[in-house]
Structure 1
Amino acid sequence: MLIVHNPLQASHAGRHEMFRGRLVPCHETPERFEQVMAELARRPVGPMRTPLPGHEAADDARLARIHDAAYLAFLAGAWDEWLALDAANAALDILPSVWPNHGLRRDVSPLNFSARVGLYGFDAGTPITAGSWSAARAGAACAMDAARAVAAGQVRAALALTRPPGHHAGPDFFGGYCFLNNAALAAQTLRDAGAARVAVLDIDYHHGNGTQTIFEARSDVLTVSLHGDPRTEYPFYLGHADERGTGAGLGCNLNLPLPAGTGFETWSDALQTALAAVRAFAADALVVPLGVDTWEGDPISRFRLRSDDYLRIGAALGALGLPTVYTLEGGYAAAQMGVNVVNVLAGHLDQAGGGA
């Protein structure tokens, strides 16, 4: 198992987010990454490195295929624009305060900076900081580098160990702590390297709305997600069972929403349904947006999985026998996150016979 980790992840460190009507310290912190690194030091599963140089032009071109060019330009320049408004803004994060809801136009980009933040951001819980773009861009490089290594046969499985996470980021929107969709970029990298069909199996507590939106009209990428019921759980407005894809992608999206309080037995039944869909799709490669906010003690999620369950999850994923890229997503009980993530990786390797 190759671990490609983000050397710039700590440069994104939001101060506050809006949570249940008040500003609170951010749940998505550098400590999450640090706990996984610490657990990997205790229980190594394979070689670790940062992204290899020499692929920057190809990576930028792929970014522009997954994300809208104007959106990427906004992210890259947002902090400088924020400071240009008032130097004192250096002590504050950027959060949207206005959004173009029903009946309002999205096709004209406002000149007002706050209005443009709301044009691209869909919640008030995803702060943009001085280092958000550099951290997100380096994280995207991790995902694409991990996928290249898997596609080249250097390893059978790899983890893009990075933050901020990515699966809520869509073609032209950020939210859910996500700016660039690492899972989508990994899937596209695998496609570009020759995999005819790629499956994305998202096991985060929250639906991967960005990934679904990116691939919903494509037949070459299957998107499957196990997650909290969007009628009660974030991101609320996507992730229902009747969403099957559109156009050429009809039938290539499967959502398996589950109620709050779900334990491992019921969750595992849904996972078997997801795995059957991946097999039926005859995927050549697999991407797993790996969220461990399904753990019973997570502060913002409501499933009841236990740490040992993640060993079984990894084994089930490894049993598919596919070249696999994991991308690190949610998990906000930081002290337990490392154990749960590494349990998935260890379970995968045990099922695959210990091979990298």
Structure 2
Amino acid sequence: MFRVRRILDDTRATGKQAVAQVQQIMRDQFPKLLPKTIAALPHYLRNPVKYGFRSVLFVADDVKGNTKGFALMSHDPELNFAYLDYLSAARGVTGQGVGGALYERVREEASRLGVIGLFFEALPDDARLSKDPRIRKQNAARLRFYERFGAFPIANTRYETPIVPGGDNPPLLVFDGLGNDVSLPAPLAKSIVRAILERKYGDILPEGYVDRVVESFKDDPVKLRPSRYLKGEAEVIRKRSLPVGKRIVLIVNDKHAIHHVKEIGYVEAPVRIDTIMAELDKTSLFYRVPAVHFGEQRITAVHDAEFFNYFKRVCSKLEPEESVYPYVFPIRNAAHPPEDLAIRAGYYCIDTFTPINRNAFLAARRAVDCSLTGAKYLLEGTHLVYALVRPPGHHAERRAFGGFCYFNSAAAAAQYLSPFGTVAILDIDYHHGNGQQVIFYSRRDVLTISIHCKPSVAYPYFSGFASECGEGEGVGFNINYSLPEKVDGPAFRIELKTALTRIKRFRPQFLVVALGLDTARNDPTGTWDLLPDDFEANGRLVGALGLPTLVVQEGGYDTQVLGINARRFFTGLWSAAYE
């Protein structure tokens, strides 16, 4: 199993490791490449202006970061074309679909950029240009592969002229129109070919070579070589099901079910995840990946270390199936907590109905792993990610748990992303996102917005008022939209549009959505009236921002409609992002 992800540069550890492995593949698979060309790869990514192209690097790797293949694409925004420099699997990697997945991802990126087409070189399958039958057979196999995507060599030109007279295997220039019915005008083709030859090979081409090749493009529009390999086959890969690069990366808490409070009225149950997954599986929108394990410091970055250590310790000392509910609260004196850990729970909890049990710590920590994995995917170039987790987290404050929440997964993800750019958190749960508010209240690099039922009638009751707008540097960067007890879809969208306008003004690099589905009609913890159509409309509005977005699951407890509403939200989100 492998994933395809984009590497932005080598300034972070994961990017540095991937670039180093790509350079090794280049050495193994392209032995004639000059060492200076391989060494320049990081500079292509960091300084595109210097090299005349904007470089885009994709790698196919496993969850341990072992690179199985890579693709390097160049983009010229002025001439509006893309050029595939390299596409290669690692040594010994065959028959795993790596090449196809990488090429699909390159095509998706080229389509997203709106270029006229994708150009690249391929070795010839003609005996006059490729003398060795064994090599010629390999060349033919590659050209057949590209034909299945609708990519064909450009005909009637001298592009394949050997640099050294009599040279073997001079490359053909192949054009992929990316599934669009477009023609390539000769004047544009000449400009593109000149750019490719001068920027890629300018230091090795003999005098006059570029002019001779460019002037050989006489057909207007340019003609492509007819298919040699499809033989009338209907298959064209561009018509297949949704490619991986356009799917929503899905990370599910694989340890959520160990936290199961089997008591009447406790609605935060494992069936919530099962219900959502049953509906997500009906679509092709998702690409599931495993969670990566992160260190405790990622949690203590947003939670008080004393609270973290207490919670870890008290959970480990409880018997299986035993739950402890807070019942003593330090209103008079918080400085001298009792020795009994169970009794001390009230020193860290905001209510009496969120229990501590043996597996609460393990499940909550794994939920944070999921959200952090999602944030990691955003940093690596993924556009949409969904961390499907329980227990939820948005009520967990810096040193307090409650509302079924123990660790704040959305806040941990926002904190993880914040060194790399500004972050907006949009909480659209029925209940106020008091956890994020407390954690980021004095910061301006993380905008926190919560749309929720007014705290005079809804949990947590003590926070979520419009007057709570931040403090110190954070003034104006915490916003609460407190709505009435009865709200339908259109009324909710009025506030959502206002919130999204504020996010646009903030201009964040990343968006974290704390998704509550308890805004639905008949949810046992809410009073609002949103229907499936409303969730899809909300998803479209959020997706239209065009931001790299991580969605973290929060509330939602009516299992009759929970999955449907989740599916409809993501249908809207994906549609706005990609259609």
Q: TM-score, normalised by structure 1?
A: 0.90
Root-mean-square deviation (Å) = 1.3
Count of residue pairs brought into register by the alignment: 332
Deviations 1:289-321 (A, max 9, x none): 000100012112001110111111010000111
Partner of 1:118: 346
1:248 pairs, out of 449, 473, 479, with 473
Matched, 1:71 2:307: yes
Partner of 1:181: 408
**Once structures 1 and 2 are overlaid, which stretch shifts more, 69-78 or 165-174?**
69-78
Partner of 1:45: 285
Q: Cα offset for 1:273? A: 1.0
**Letter aligned with residue 578 of structure 2:** G
Matched, 1:170 2:391: no
**Letter aligned with residue 32 of structure 1:** R
Contact kept, 8 Å, 1:243 with 1:255, in 2: the verdict is: yes
Q: Which of the pair has more CA radius of gyration?
A: 2
**Letter aligned with residue 169 of structure 1:** A
**Once structures 1 and 2 are overlaid, which stretch shifts more, 157-166 or 330-339?**
330-339
Contact kept, 8 Å, 2:318 with 2:358, in 1: the verdict is: no
Partner of 1:234: 459
Contact kept, 8 Å, 1:97 with 1:114, in 2: the verdict is: no
* CA distance, structure 2, for counterparts of residue 275 and residue 229 of structure 1: 20
**Letter aligned with residue 232 of structure 1:** V
Matched, 1:99 2:346: no
Deviations 1:90-134 (A, max 9, x none): 443111011122xx2324443122331010111122122221111
Q: Cα offset for 1:201? A: 0.5
- The aligned runs of 1:76-91 (5 Å cut-off) are 76-83=312-319, 90-91=320-321
The unaligned stretches of length 5 or more in structure 2 are 1-247
* CA distance, structure 2, for counterparts of residue 108 and residue 65 of structure 1: 25
Contact kept, 8 Å, 1:81 with 1:113, in 2: the verdict is: no
Matched, 1:340 2:565: yes
The residue matched to 1:186 in structure 2 has which SS?
Answer: helix
The residue matched to 1:235 in structure 2 has which SS?
Answer: coil
* CA distance, structure 1, for counterparts of residue 313 and residue 413 of structure 2: 24
Q: Cα offset for 1:248? A: 1.0
* CA distance, structure 2, for counterparts of residue 7 and residue 141 of structure 1: 10
Matched, 1:6 2:253: yes
Partner of 1:140: 368
* CA distance, structure 2, for counterparts of residue 249 and residue 131 of structure 1: 36
**Gap change, CA 1:70 and 1:76, over 3 Å in 2:** same
Relative to its length, the structure with more helix (as a share) is: 1
Partner of 2:549: 324
The residue matched to 2:561 in structure 1 has which SS?
Answer: helix
2:268 pairs, out of 15, 25, 28, with 28
Q: Cα offset for 1:157? A: 1.0
The unaligned stretches of length 5 or more in structure 1 are 17-23, 84-89
**Once structures 1 and 2 are overlaid, which stretch shifts more, 67-76 or 90-99?**
90-99
* CA distance, structure 2, for counterparts of residue 123 and residue 42 of structure 1: 38
**Letter aligned with residue 370 of structure 2:** C
Deviations 1:4-40 (A, max 9, x none): 1111000111133xxxxxxx43110000011111111
- The aligned runs of 1:279-318 (5 Å cut-off) are 279-318=504-543
Contact kept, 8 Å, 2:537 with 2:572, in 1: the verdict is: yes
Q: TM-score, normalised by structure 2?
A: 0.56
**Letter aligned with residue 135 of structure 1:** A
* CA distance, structure 2, for counterparts of residue 246 and residue 109 of structure 1: 29
* CA distance, structure 1, for counterparts of residue 335 and residue 330 of structure 2: 10
The residue matched to 2:273 in structure 1 has which SS?
Answer: helix
Matched, 1:149 2:385: no
Partner of 1:223: 448
Matched, 1:199 2:446: no
The residue matched to 2:567 in structure 1 has which SS?
Answer: helix
Deviations 1:238-260 (A, max 9, x none): 00011100111011011001111
Partner of 1:261: 486
**Letter aligned with residue 353 of structure 1:** Y
Partner of 2:298: 62
* CA distance, structure 1, for counterparts of residue 300 and residue 534 of structure 2: 38
**Letter aligned with residue 182 of structure 1:** S
* CA distance, structure 1, for counterparts of residue 536 and residue 353 of structure 2: 31
Contact kept, 8 Å, 2:538 with 2:569, in 1: the verdict is: yes
Contact kept, 8 Å, 1:310 with 1:344, in 2: the verdict is: yes
**Letter aligned with residue 313 of structure 2:** G
* CA distance, structure 2, for counterparts of residue 311 and residue 319 of structure 1: 12
Contact kept, 8 Å, 2:318 with 2:357, in 1: the verdict is: no
Deviations 1:180-229 (A, max 9, x none): 0011011111113x11x110010000000111000001111000010000
Contact kept, 8 Å, 1:217 with 1:247, in 2: the verdict is: yes
Deviations 1:30-70 (A, max 9, x none): 000111111111123121022135xx33xx22211111111
The residue matched to 2:330 in structure 1 has which SS?
Answer: coil
The residue matched to 1:326 in structure 2 has which SS?
Answer: strand
* CA distance, structure 2, for counterparts of residue 11 and residue 339 of structure 1: 25
Q: Cα offset for 1:82? A: 3.4
* CA distance, structure 1, for counterparts of residue 340 and residue 303 of structure 2: 22
Contact kept, 8 Å, 2:389 with 2:553, in 1: the verdict is: yes
Partner of 2:230: none
